[in-house]
Amino acid sequence: MTATARAAVRVTAFIVCAMCALAVCARAARDGDAKAARMRDDGLLDMFRARLARLDDADGDSGGADDTKVVTVGDVVVRTTGFHGELSCDVTLPRLSSRATAGVAFMLPRGLVADRDDVRSKTIDGWLCDAYGDVDVERPASSAGASSVVCVKELTEGARDGALERATTTARARYGAPRLGGGVVDIHIAPVRVAIRRADGVWMHGASARGGTWKVPVGDAQDAAATKIVSTVANALGACIVILAAYVYVRAREEKIKVK
């Protein structure tokens, strides 16, 4: 190999290494920016969660002298397909002369739950959400606790008076105990609380007049009992077959030893 060829190989190797290093640095920077953004979003969600919890505990009391009750909130709208669905409400904004942030709290009874991974990974119409409380989606309604979903969104400056913002989150129904004849069970969702924080630190808030209702299908207790009996019998038969197979294997081994 000539000196020129060797020099070309070294230059090429250097360029490849440099490009790889730049790619690694760029990925690390993106990951760092994403982590910083998530921490900032989590802080914003925690602030609104605490604020909305105060409003809920005070049953709508302003909680501060600088608060104004000027936010109109529509009723909770429930859209479902079986055990999965969406909860939403329309927030009528007051006129905003500066940037502001809105927060909405959906309170879920123990018969409903939000998949936290699903809620955190989705941004619906600009709303960033997170789930709190008992968010174990595998737990049945009988042993589950309540949970909530808090959503926040940055509002643009100069929003016109009366503009609508629709907050939406996903949720799912927990499996409930079967009852005779099956059918559906109505799960009632509490009215939502809304808070808006202006850039000057003034809070505004409101609440919907009514919540919503989620109709959840439940199984027939008779079918459940029959299924339980069949499962018990099947398990017993399976255990007998395993014991019989073990017995046959041991006997065969003993006969083989005797022959030898």
- Residues 6+ positions from 187 with CB-CB distance below 8 Å: 109, 111, 112, 173, 213, 214, 215, 216
For the whole prediction, is pTM greater than 0.85?
Answer: no
Considering only residues 42 and 63, tell me which one the structure prediction assigns the higher pLDDT: 42
pLDDT at residue number 21: 56
Q: Of 50-54, 70-74, 130-134, 239-243, which range is least confident?
A: 239-243
| Calpha distance 137→170 (Å, rounded) | 13
**Average pLDDT over every residue of 165-186:** 82
pLDDT at residue number 119: 92
pLDDT at residue number 147: 93
pLDDT at residue number 122: 83
**Average pLDDT over every residue of 97-119:** 91
pLDDT at residue number 9: 58
pLDDT at residue number 16: 59
pLDDT at residue number 130: 94
- 152 confidence band (pLDDT: 50, 70, 90): very high
pLDDT at residue number 213: 93
Considering only residues 154 and 96, tell me which one the structure prediction assigns the higher pLDDT: 154
Alpha-carbon separation of residue 110 from 25, 103, 113 (angstroms): 46, 22, 7
Q: What percent of the chain has pLDDT over 70?
A: 60
**Average pLDDT over every residue of 1-10:** 63
| Calpha distance 138→140 (Å, rounded) | 6
In the predicted model, what is the mean pLDDT of the chain? 76
**Average pLDDT over every residue of 129-146:** 92
Q: Give the architecture-level CATH label for domain 9-219.
A: Sandwich (2.60)
pLDDT at residue number 173: 92
Considering only residues 146 and 220, tell me which one the structure prediction assigns the higher pLDDT: 146
pLDDT at residue number 6: 63
- 25 confidence band (pLDDT: 50, 70, 90): very low
Q: Decide if pLDDT at 165 tops 70.
A: yes
- Residues 6+ positions from 172 with CB-CB distance below 8 Å: 83, 84, 85, 112, 113, 114, 115, 137
pLDDT at residue number 78: 92
